[in-house]
Amino acid sequence: MSKIAIIGSRGLERPDYLTNVKKLSVTTPFGDPNPVMYSGMFEGIEVIHLSRRGLDDRIPSSKINFKANLYALKQQQCTHILAATICRSLQEEICPGEIIILDQFIDMTTQRLSGIFEDMNGGTVYQPMEEPFSCELRDHLVEAAIVQGITVHTKGTVLSIEGPRFSSRAESNLFRHWDADVINMVTAPEVILASELGIPYAALAICTSYDSWRVNDDTAMVEDHVMADYHDKVLAMIKYTLKRIE
């Protein structure tokens, strides 16, 4: 029986799509998850909901306890993870308001140590990372977008930075030359930890604006409009995908 974890971000902080919602009290060897987890049901499917930045979206990316979050989902015996995130575009063809189903990442974080088992047993774990995102879950998310008429990019490389500052124009142009498609502050190390814990993971990212490489860009002015649509778009895709996971 599947138990699906949903990691929500800005616009999807609360489990308002679930029934029989219960607040969970969870402690891990790495501390408490941020800041609260819920269990609930969606059409007979057991779901664990975790808000990555808290219910008020105030936890900065550099302060998220990723190890506790992912280990807590393992403790709850979650079989799959669907993660929602926002991002900024590094490529002209990825426009604000569009959804990207991520398939690769570049980790440019510097303070977030991502190995989880080294902390627990002192050993070294060499984790394969050629295909960090679950192909099965990605396919379900792509289908969900297409069926519901949501503009989707079926693959994309996300570059994760430490935050909370945005990249400089020089950095942004460098990342473009590395063929990164979008940039955010959370996918790494989240996907790395999920892989190490053996939980299939997929992420859908909604583009809010172009990154700083774009000179005289005014798309940041539409971010509020993009975020107003974010909840309905992402929730529709998640609901569809939940019913497709076996």
Report d(CA 25, CA 146) in Å as an integer.
Answer: 37
Instruction: Put residue 77 in one of left, alpha, beta given phi > 0 → left and psi -120 to 50 → alpha.
Output: left
Share of the chain above pLDDT 70, in %: 91
Q: Is 24 exposed, middle or buried (0-12, 13-18, 19+ CB in 10 A)?
A: middle
Q: Which amino acid is at 143?
A: E
Report d(CA 238, CA 196) in Å as an integer.
Answer: 23
* pLDDT over 90 at 102, yes or no: yes
Any idea which residue has 């649509």 for tokens?
229
Q: What's the pTM?
A: 0.93
Closest CA to 211 of 185, 190, 236, 188: 185
Structural domains in the chain, sorted by start: 3-242 (3.40.50.1580)
Confidence at 224, pLDDT banded by 50, 70, 90: low
| DSSP H or E stretch at residue 66 | helix 66-75
Sign of torsion over alpha carbons 64, 51, 76, 24: positive
Instruction: Name the average pLDDT for the chain.
Output: 90
